[in-house]
Structure 1
């Protein structure tokens, strides 16, 4: 089979500059020191840092499709300091440092991920959004975070960065880099192979148990087994309720002209969003396209994961309408690519990383869409845990956190889709009332 099946998954896959022909599957049952399930960012960063720190380790990475098939190759391209749940100063500091570590490691491995650290501007376009922006900055100040970490911008300062309609103000953080996600993940796969790691693609894992991984092509026994499957975790036996796979949809425009970019902004390739409840996100690519995505696709019953987004045409249309509402100059610009991917949401919305030394089972995930950088922090933390080191990373509060399981169906399906609808209603409510949403307040109490 050629690589065409995977090269057409998204704009990022199409422009990754890589051969998508799968690496060989696991040839037979084998023994390893560390078996890693999943060749996305989490699995590959873990393999990278382990191989770097302990070159003699026998490390095997097992991937059901090809490296970068999942969210690592399809996301919005934000390498940010965002973390999906409240965190203390040490966790935040680690996340800020991780943005620079991704850039450092990519450069060291010769990976051209089209990285540009322009920061993130998050617009406030209603009074309720401006109130949330101010509250976010006040909270940051109460935790000792200064202007160099998170700043409140007035309209003029916001417009100098991004000229969207209706802007009242914005928040800005320097701690984000725009990247080409598929170039990064494919570069990482090549890098770990150069370090002696065995990467087996087209090798579906069915079951993970202490010191043992069962695949379609044989069994891998190992001292340590790392689950790095994020939104695909429910496909593993016994993990059906560990995370909820929720799809995020993305589109990319044709390259914009210089005059169009002069009207939009993002001169330093800043990433952008706004303070609405139903998340949107965007970036300017290295070839001057605008990539824009958001939530809104329904959760599929039974945690079903899809690559067919044809029935989500209304979600894509709403994304385009939102993009034109923000930037009317783009009304006639062609949308050249539409795609989607699945992210993993734990029941308490808290990402975690950990290792049970009694069983040898390790894990990382639950990034809620903030995984481009968090996976790198996870990889370095898993390195330290596997090697038995006590370091500042192993003392962070997300280490060994255990999220509760999601409810069984049909409660899971009803609750998650009700939450998505509530987020949309909350934004509509705020546009009408010009006050913070009552619906959003109730939703926050239910989801945290």
Structure 2
């Protein structure tokens, strides 16, 4: 068996020649961008942002009211950012997992769970109804324990519990000590093709879409909201802001969000022999049970997508392309991949990429309105936006309607998260937290810093 040093060298070699581009977007049949807005336009509803949150908002608005004039604008290309850079895990959870949800909203958690399951059902129904070809497979998730202290958190008697032999019968990794198979509450999907399918469907329902149309500022003028772009103005009766980590249009959200970079690798397509060496015949996704966790899945063309673990915050809430090229993180991910699947040494990675996660202190989306109720927003998904974005779209449309619904009555919707402190306190606090979470992963014990954050409502459970 190779030593760790030999595996480090193998990991570096496996990354040579990898394309710095998201697997989902680096395809020849990516749709051409729609023309930008040119001139002044008046609409009923303007949606800012061409990721999942904006696309679902536009589609759901058209489904709710076929006569509504809806325009969606994207400053770059559709699905270019978080939507086209994630792992394609579509979860039912709206609360970043059960533990986080029960801790923050114990009295309404069961309702939130039911709403989340219904939301996933409705995503699946939408894909089937409109014939969106995106590889949606409701496969469930295998959560694995790789450290001794994590096994106790699963425990025999837990629904879906698998001991070491049982979990290794499903997927062959020497790192697995136990597991839990959770069926029905998640799916895997090609996120870019889902986004492109939602856009095409929305257009068939009358929505207009403009790409390369960056909104520079937003201002209320009488009973309208005016969006100023580089080549014109958009006057709207109502506005949905779905820009997630980019908070420049709504000052009130700037302190509530920090952008964290997540990194991903994708292997070359595996041969039948390589696939046989790891088992994994069922299409479920897999994640570790630690704070710093990996998520991984098989793709439709038999690659393994491998991401997570090394989430990076850059001082000053910095967002820029240069942060995506981080060799030390890609090498760390590659090394951990081969430690998990040593039988795959020699496999090469063809793609490496990163994306920005819009993290808030409660680790799931929050909602609100501005400009006298004419503007609604949702942000702070913290990495679980593929599924929760559709729920967020309905929340925002409910808020704009002015009617109370089962969604707008929720404490989760009515209350905002605690803000992050200014720099340098934000950077210092995040670095201490990352160190503390890594230490808890190693020891199984939460230190004083994490216990204080828990009491303040800032504790993190992945």
TM-score computed with the length of structure 2 as normaliser? 0.85
1:76 and 2:87 are equivalent in the alignment: yes
Instruction: Report the equivalent of 2:326.
Output: 312
1:177 and 2:204 are equivalent in the alignment: no
Is the Cα–Cα contact under 8 Å of residues 433 and 450 in structure 2 kept in the other structure? no
1:297 deviates by 4.3
Instruction: Report the equivalent of 1:14.
Output: 26
Distance of aligned partners of 1:441 and 1:162 in 2 relative to their CA distance in 1, 3 Å threshold:
farther
Is the Cα–Cα contact under 8 Å of residues 90 and 396 in structure 1 kept in the other structure? no
Give distance in 2, aligned partners of 1:265 and 1:397. 43
Instruction: Report the equivalent of 1:194.
Output: 204
1:264 and 2:260 are equivalent in the alignment: no
1:276 deviates by 1.6
User: What does 1:27-38 align with in structure 2 at a 5 Å threshold?
Assistant: 27-38=38-49
1:53 and 2:71 are equivalent in the alignment: no
Instruction: Report the equivalent of 1:165.
Output: 174
Is the Cα–Cα contact under 8 Å of residues 406 and 412 in structure 1 kept in the other structure? yes
SS at match of 1:404: coil
Give distance in 2, aligned partners of 1:10 and 1:353. 29
TM-score computed with the length of structure 1 as normaliser? 0.88
Is the Cα–Cα contact under 8 Å of residues 425 and 439 in structure 1 kept in the other structure? no
Is the Cα–Cα contact under 8 Å of residues 48 and 241 in structure 2 kept in the other structure? yes
Give distance in 2, aligned partners of 1:398 and 1:28. 39
Is the Cα–Cα contact under 8 Å of residues 33 and 211 in structure 2 kept in the other structure? yes
Is the Cα–Cα contact under 8 Å of residues 17 and 183 in structure 1 kept in the other structure? no
Provide, for residues 197-224 of structure 1, a one-character-per-residue CA deviation record: whole Å limited to 9, x for no partner.
Answer: 1211111122234423232233322222
SS at match of 1:186: helix
SS at match of 2:286: strand
Give distance in 2, aligned partners of 1:324 and 1:222. 52
Instruction: Report the equivalent of 2:77.
Output: 66
Distance of aligned partners of 1:200 and 1:163 in 2 relative to their CA distance in 1, 3 Å threshold:
same
Give distance in 2, aligned partners of 1:8 and 1:25. 27
Instruction: Report the equivalent of 1:250.
Output: 264
Is the Cα–Cα contact under 8 Å of residues 65 and 201 in structure 1 kept in the other structure? yes
SS at match of 1:308: helix
Instruction: Report the equivalent of 1:143.
Output: none
- Structure 1 segments of 4+ aligned residues over 6 angstroms from their partners: none
Aligned residue pairs total 424
Please list every run of 5 or more consecutive structure 2 residues that lacks an aligned counterpart in the other structure. Answer: 1-18
Please list every run of 5 or more consecutive structure 1 residues that lacks an aligned counterpart in the other structure. Answer: 1-6, 139-146
